[in-house]
Structure 1
Amino acid sequence: MPILRPAADATPADWLLDAARAGDGPTVLRYGPPGFDTYLRLPIDPVGPIGLGPAANVNAMATALHVLTGHTNTPDNAYVAMWEGYNLGPEPDAPRVPLPNALMFLYAGPVSAMRYAAQTIWADAIGKPDTSHDVEPDLVWPADHAWCLACEVDEEIEFSIGCSNTAAEALEAALPDLVRRVAYGEDAPWERNRR
């Protein structure tokens, strides 16, 4: 598993903070910043792979990040912001990003390390990833800002990706029937129906 490291400082997240301060902070947490060509919504995987149609054994977030690796000039230089409130272990020694109602720890590394960021950030004392954590990364973006993946802390159903039309088409091809295009900030259910 590729290694994440605490970011040198919180400045790589300034573009998100600026967007949150200039507009609707909760929308930035759910969709990323405004201004991308396209916004997509994809299902959040339950504990195991999703079981929907022809893509039944596909992990949507892992697949999306794999596809997005090819749609940035900085695949080895990316960032992940993780909510400090997960309380999955000792508090990480990493820069904090004060997004509205969601203080985040900021880590850096390759895009390939981002899907299981929580497992790495809250590793055990000898650095072995804690595989009992299956928490999605909250915000992921490459250094060139080619796209942004957003999985709001309280979201249960879907996560968002803001990206170019080319990246959106590649995601649609990789995850048929799971990707839907939306307008930035479009209202959508947050929780699964409980019976």
Structure 2
Amino acid sequence: MFDPCSDLAAAKWIAASDEHWGKLVTLGPPGFPAYARLRFIPDPVHEGQSENDAVRQADAPSDNDQLRIAVGTLLRHTDAPDEGYLLMWDGWGRDSFPEPVLRTPRLTVPNREYYLCRVSLPDFVSGAIEDSWQAETNRSMPHPAFIWPSDRAWCVTSDVDPHWAGIGAQQSLIDPLLTEPRLDVVRVEPNEKLPFYS
């Protein structure tokens, strides 16, 4: 279901980026024509608001479910191959990872380290990757920090700090996400100040 990678070459395009690390790990690698944010919860309404004060709809999908919906939408609107990659932040703790993943080297960017896994993107969308992960660890799979197809047509980035995931792609791939009723996706404008909770 998921294949831990000892060779990190597939992720070097992320590690080699000269983007400021904070923007890289929250919005994704530079160079895409368009960017958007998938908001797991609404943006803060005032300065200094705590994420604990945010109101999430009772029937809202989980963050992982929203990531799967977003990836599924991207796959429906692109010729991207089924093969893709996940970068998993190592900060979730060793117990969160299958043993074969822990035996692979980590990819380093400033202030973050990740394990790389090759996956079938349709299996990620269906939840089969999460099921396989949980079967090996007896724990829920942490959400991936980066998700992309092998042709790099798009990249979804979900860091632990913001309340949203960044998406980089062609505008034609962003547009279907903006109208997906199960998701709250907004465009990111050039030089926009991105919102964060305190």
In the other structure, the counterpart of 1:6 is 4
Specify the code of the residue in structure 2 equivalent to 1:151: S
Residues 184 and 17 of structure 1, relative CA distance in 2, 3 Å threshold: farther
Q: Does 2:96 match 1:100? A: no
2:22 counterpart (21, 26, 35): 26
The code of the aligned residue for 2:29 comes to P
Question: Contact 2:19 / 2:30 at 8 angstroms: preserved in 1?
Answer: no
CA distance in 1, matches of 2:137, 2:187: 34
User: 2:181 — aligned with what?
Assistant: 175
Q: Deviations over 1:78-137 (max 9, x none)?
A: 00000111015155223421111111000001123446666645x4xxxx1557426321
SS at match of 2:86: strand
Seen in structure 2, the aligned counterparts of structure 1 residues 99 and 175 have a Cα distance that, compared at 3 Å, is farther
- Write the letter of the residue equivalent to 2:104: A
Q: In the alignment, which residue of structure 1 is the partner of 2:84?
A: 78
1:146 matches 2:183: no
Identity of aligned residues (%): 26
Scaled by the length of structure 1, the TM-score of the pair is 0.76
User: Which of the numbers 12, 15, 18 marks the counterpart of 2:13?
Assistant: 15
Shift of 1:172: 1.5
* CA 130–189 in structure 1, closer or farther in 2 if over 3 Å, else same: farther
Question: CA RMSD, aligned part only?
Answer: 3.0
Equivalent pairs, count: 177
Q: 1:135 to 1:187 in 2, by over 3 A?
A: farther
Give 5+ residue unaligned stretches, structure 1: none
Is 1:41 aligned to residue 48 of structure 2?
no
* More RCO (CA 8 Å, sep 6+): 2
Q: Within 2, Cα distance between the matches of 1:111 and 1:134?
A: 15
Q: Distance between the aligned counterparts of 2:137 and 2:108, measured in 1? A: 26
Tell me, yes or no, if the aligned pair for 1:83 and 1:103 is still in contact at 8 Å. Answer: yes
Query: Structure 1, residues 55-91: CA drift from partner, whole Å, max 9, x if none?
Result: 9568422210111113443432100000111015155
Cα distance in 1 for residues equivalent to 2:111 and 2:123? 26
Q: Is the 8 A contact 1:119 1:130 kept in 2?
A: no
TM-score by length of 2: 0.75
Higher helix share: 2
